[in-house]
Amino acid sequence: MIEFPRSLPIPEEVLDIARRLEAAGFETWCVGGAVRDNLLGYDNRDFDLATAALPEDVQRLFRRTIPVGVEHGTVAVLDRNRQAHEVTTFRRDVRTDGRHAVVEFGVKLEDDLARRDFTINAIAHHPLTHAWRDLFDGRRDLDARLIRAVGDPAVRFREDYLRILRALRFAARFDFQIDPATWAAAQANADGLGYLSAERVRDEWFRGLASAQQPSALVRLWDEIGGRAKWLPEVDASGPPLAGIDRFPVRDPVLMTAYLSQDPRATLERLRCSGAEIERGVRIQRFRERPVDSGHPTAVRRWLAEVNQAADDLVTVAGADDPPRGAALAAAVGQVRSSGAPVKLSQLAVTGEDLIAEGVPADKRMGEILRRLLDAVLEDPARNNRDALLDLARALAERYPA
């Protein structure tokens, strides 16, 4: 059975903040994910503090602060290394629309814990006296490997529909079950997921993919609750990619989303991803089925020249789809790269300026000539020397009249 330890590995910088708050007469506790994770045996030193101090009190007591969420009571205090530590005033919700809450300060720790989403996140530890507060049997649920809402689960979810997706993330991360009453309330309120902002949904989806023990389990949960249909309709929840996603060596949410999606552009645009992330997904889709014979270095060089910056993503995708094929491709790519063989224009031994200096006209032929030079060295890397390439460029310039 999980026992409350005598103390937690709280960084000295956090203890210093707690000491100053307590010395000023403000009750202060450690709360949230770091408390939960340490009870489960995970190394998490990112402790947040909940305090009776109002945001203006925190800003008055500490010289360097950032008002990261003053309207909700949160101020980040910077330590001497400019590391931020969140300090949040005890609060309770007085009004919510399922996306945003209006909170009231001047309440007790018990009120603050009562507004939290799940019992495993509603355990508090006093950093100085080492007392514990577990008003909702969070330790019992940690033992039972259970995600259970604090209080009435329907009320919790209607306060913020994102909590439905958070329940799925925690279940997949810790391989916990979701309490039947909590699951029923999540299903009953699943329509509320459509009211959430794309940015909040994206962040929750990405955090889930990055932390899940088996990402496929997270996808199935999103599918069962209706979140996939609302936000990720292009994501395959039953086909071969669902098995492959668990073989990803690095939890890269953008790559994983593109891998699962039948239309990465549509999915990433709906999630309001950056332009660079969307284009990355498009490249993966464009080249994903492009064949490459990893046993022939020339074929691998030509493939690298074609797929360009998508190469590493495609090697990962190949390994997820077919581990032996992926391993062979990764080895072949590694050999080409270690050999120094050029696979892009910037690696040629000559530049456009070199060609102009040798009398090659700076007109529309220049790009075609450079591509022909690259083609020559892809076939035979030994040709990547200045003199040979200049000779070939002159011959090509004569062959392609203006």
Best CA proximity match to 274, nearest among 195, 206, 193: 206
* pLDDT at res. 257: 97
Q: pLDDT by residue (tens digit) across 75-131?
A: 999 998 899 999 999 988 755 655 666 667 778 999 999 999 999 999 999 999 999
To which residue do tokens 């509603």 refer?
Answer: 122
Q: What is the pLDDT of residue 290?
A: 87
**pLDDT tens track for 11-60:** 999 999 999 999 999 999 999 999 999 999 999 999 999 999 999 999 99
Tell me the per-residue pLDDT of 185-241, one tens digit each, with 9 for 90 and over.
999 999 999 999 999 999 999 999 999 999 999 999 999 999 999 999 999 888 888
255: Cβ contacts below 8 Å, ≥ 6 apart: 248, 280, 284, 313, 316, 317
Q: Which CATH number is associated with domain 1-144?
A: 3.30.460.10
Long-range contacts of 251-255 (CB under 8 A, 24+ apart): 251/209, 251/210, 251/211, 251/215, 252/316, 253/205, 253/206, 253/207, 253/209, 253/210, 254/206, 254/280, 254/281, 255/280, 255/284, 255/313, 255/316, 255/317
φ, ψ for residue 78, nearest 5 deg: -90, 130
Residue 398: is its pLDDT beyond 90?
no
pLDDT at 400: 65
